[in-house]
């Protein structure tokens, strides 16, 4: 994974703005005439397509490349189904060999699972909220890499999860696993699939080709395995332009944080953290034809926590409809998918959500922009800390809910200098403490450019929860965090 992130990390935030639609060769221009270099192309991530006839790579999914509509990839239904099943067989075999008790299944456990039906499980937060979505990404990629679109791959992800829940464990099938694996697997699978496309360079040879194929395989293992089987790892062919976004920005931060759990920050816990962030495409401008043409992802590693990963978020644009477009302003209606994860000693919170709302971008100067989002959230599955959860290994409740979030960003080129975020959500508990939770969050971050790609910044954020329980007194919990960091863009 570090190898793959290193290949992506070379694309700093200094990339040029996205080109207008007519410059993206959407009408089939292969570059034989005068052509403009795209930002990622200039960074060496996209080979020169040259003036030869365009041939799509064997693993290019259906409609992956708008340039090559005349040569669509065939959907391989039975191959996709076989690979989904093979993923489960391989993982189950490993679990069985290493002695996992729940992997001891037979016809009787299958009958029991079918008879019992679905329940809510009591597994830990990282397993339910990170491991299951990652497992689901393998099912999603099995379909995506066999010619199916984002939407077309969703049923395969659901099928893979059903297979696992009903036949790969001797425990009752789980509602929360089914939802997290399907929805989170689609989001994570699509993001990793696109990043693997970005890393791949089917025109490269020798050591450079090997390193890029290896990096892409680490990001998307099912795709990497298929490329070996098909012989794509050694086949030279042009790289589809849509494998590279119009804009790409990545940056990392390293610093110190003070976490105050219901007490003054002066008495809070001292920790160190490292965070990696990535912006693929631009949700605020440009053409968007397919889900996740634009997405943002971040992951944070923190010391002194029970798990290495303390924060993660993935948010991808599904569809966008321009409402107003002028020379300096653009307002659009967008639908986004979001997967979030917070796992600290102070609180746990995460889940799967759909966001609907307005995205506005104003060009202040040639290099500076103001971007704002106002979103309404629908949350089919939320996990949130609770003092009275019923699960043996769970300190959190499961529920459904909704809320609102707002974001305002002042950016210099692709460098987010000032970021302000706030949100409120209400969750009705389905399994756990029998009650409801209202959560308010806020964050102010300043990241000032200091020297070339180096920055210096700070952040203050808060988390407030008001829980109302049917059989217990209400609980109010406030958590504050202060961070200082250096950034590399």
The model's pLDDT over 435-472, given as tens digits with 9 standing for 90+, comes to: 999 999 999 999 999 999 999 999 999 999 999 999 89
Q: What is the reported pLDDT for 106? A: 93
Q: What is the pLDDT of residue 8?
A: 57
Q: What is the pLDDT of residue 59?
A: 60
Residues whose CB falls within 8 Å of the CB of residue 145, separated by 6 or more in sequence, listed in order: 59, 61, 193, 220, 222, 223, 226
446-456 pLDDT per residue, tens? 999 999 999 99
**237 to each of 23, 48, 72, 231, 421, how far by Cα in Å?**
22, 11, 16, 12, 44
Q: How far is CA 183 from the centre of its chain?
A: 11
Q: Which of 378, 379, 384, 377 is nearest to 431 (CA)?
A: 384
Provide the pLDDT for residue 306: 81
Looking at the predicted structure, is the pLDDT value of residue 276 above 80?
A: yes
Joined tokens for residue 124: 């830990």
59-107 pLDDT per residue, tens: 655 444 444 443 457 899 999 999 999 999 999 999 999 989 999 999 9
Environment class of residue 27 by beta-carbon count within 10 Å: exposed (0-12), middle (13-18) or buried (19+)?
Answer: exposed
Q: Residue with structure tokens 């497992």?
A: 135
- pLDDT above 70 as % of the chain: 83
- Mean pLDDT rounded to a whole number for the chain: 86
Does residue 121 contact residue 171 with C-beta atoms inside 8 Å?
A: yes
Q: What is the mean pLDDT of residues 307-325?
A: 94
How many CA atoms within 13 Å lie on the side-chain side of 313?
A: 11
Handedness of CA 64, 335, 183, 115 (dihedral sign): negative
In this prediction, residue 147 has a pLDDT band, given cuts at 50, 70 and 90, of very high
User: pLDDT by residue (tens digit) across 222-261?
Assistant: 999 999 999 999 999 999 888 999 899 999 999 999 887 7
Supply the pLDDT for residue 434. 87
What percentage of the chain carries pLDDT values higher than 90?
Answer: 73
345 or 175, which is more confident? 175
The pLDDT-based confidence of 307 (bands split at 50, 70, 90) is confident
CA distance 43 to 32: 21
Angle between the 221-230 and 185-199 helix axes, to the nearest 10 degrees? Answer: 50
Across the range 292-319, mean pLDDT stands at 93
Q: Residue 9 pLDDT > 60, yes or no? A: no
CA-based radius of gyration for the chain: 23
Angle at 209 between CA 206 and CA 213, to 5 degrees: 140
Per-residue pLDDT, 449 = 96
| 95: enclosing H helix or E strand | helix 77-97
How many residues make up the chain in this entry?
Answer: 489
Give the 3-state secondary structure of residue 177.
helix
pLDDT of residue 304: 81
The Cα–Cα gap between 220 and 192 comes to 6
- Please give the average per-residue pLDDT across 413-428, as a whole number: 96
Higher pLDDT, 25 or 328: 328
Q: What is the pLDDT of residues 355-409, one digit of tens each?
A: 999 999 999 999 999 999 999 999 999 999 998 876 667 889 999 999 999 999 9
Rounded distance between C-alpha atoms, residue 329 and residue 315, angstroms: 23
Bridge-based pairing of strands 248-261 and 396-412 is: unpaired
How much is the pLDDT for 42? 39
List the single range of 239-243, 266-270, 322-326 with lowest mean pLDDT.
266-270
What are φ and ψ of residue 259, in 5° steps?
-110, 120
Query: Is the pLDDT confidence value at 34 over 90?
Result: no
Whole-number pLDDT of residue 262:
64
pLDDT greater at residue 240 or residue 279: 279
Give the C-alpha separation, 127 to 140, whole Å. 19
């Amino acid at each position: 994974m570090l190898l793959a992130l290193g290949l992506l990390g070379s694309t700093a935030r200094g990339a040029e703005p996205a080109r207008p639609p007519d410059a993206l060769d959407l009408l089939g221009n292969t570059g034989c005439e005068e052509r403009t270099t795209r930002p990622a192309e200039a960074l060496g991530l996209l080979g020169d397509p040259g003036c030869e006839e365009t041939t799509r790579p064997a693993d290019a999914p259906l409609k992956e490349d708008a340039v090559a509509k005349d040569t669509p990839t065939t959907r391989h239904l039975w191959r996709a189904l076989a690979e989904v099943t093979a993923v489960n067989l391989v993982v189950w075999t490993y679990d069985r060999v290493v002695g996992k008790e729940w992997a001891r299944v037979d016809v009787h456990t299958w009958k029991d699972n079918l008879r019992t039906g679905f329940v809510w499980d009591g597994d830990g937060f990282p397993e339910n909220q990170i491991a299951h979505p990652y497992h689901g990404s393998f099912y999603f990629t099995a379909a995506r890499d066999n010619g199916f679109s984002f939407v077309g791959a969703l049923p395969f992800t659901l099928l893979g999860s059903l297979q696992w829940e009903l036949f790969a464990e001797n425990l009752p099938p789980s509602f929360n696993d089914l939802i997290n694996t399907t929805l989170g697997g689609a989001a994570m699978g699509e993001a990793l699939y696109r990043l693997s496309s970005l890393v791949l360079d089917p025109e490269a040879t020798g050591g450079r080709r090997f390193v890029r194929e290896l990096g892409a395989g680490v990001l998307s293992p099912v795709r990497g395995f298929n490329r070996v089987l098909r012989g794509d790892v050694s086949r030279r062919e042009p790289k589809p332009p849509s494998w590279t976004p119009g804009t790409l920005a990545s940056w990392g931060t390293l610093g110190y944080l003070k976490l105050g759990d219901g007490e003054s920050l002066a008495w809070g816990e001292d920790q160190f953290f490292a965070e990696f962030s990535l912006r693929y495409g631009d949700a605020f401008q440009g053409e968007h034809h397919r889900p996740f043409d634009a997405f943002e992802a971040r992951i944070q590693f923190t010391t002194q926590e029970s798990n290495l990963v303390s924060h993660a978020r993935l948010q991808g644009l599904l569809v966008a409809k321009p409402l107003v477009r002028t020379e300096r302003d653009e307002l659009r209606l967008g639908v986004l998918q979001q997967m979030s994860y917070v796992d600290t000693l102070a609180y746990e919170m995460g889940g799967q959500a759909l966001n609907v709302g307005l995205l506005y971008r104003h060009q202040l100067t040639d290099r500076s922009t103001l971007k704002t989002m106002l979103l309404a959230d629908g949350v089919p599955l939320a996990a949130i800390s609770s003092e009275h959860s019923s699960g043996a290994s769970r300190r959190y409740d499961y529920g459904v809910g909704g809320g609102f979030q707002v974001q305002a960003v002042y950016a210099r080129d692709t460098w987010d200098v000032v970021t302000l975020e706030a949100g409120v959500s209400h969750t009705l508990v389905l399994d756990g403490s029998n009650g409801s939770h209202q959560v308010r969050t806020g964050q102010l971050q300043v990241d000032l450019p200091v020297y070339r790609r180096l920055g210096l910044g700070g952040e203050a954020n808060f988390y407030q929860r008001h829980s109302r329980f049917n059989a217990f007194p209400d609980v109010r919990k406030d958590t504050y965090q202060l961070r200082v960091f250096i950034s590399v863009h």
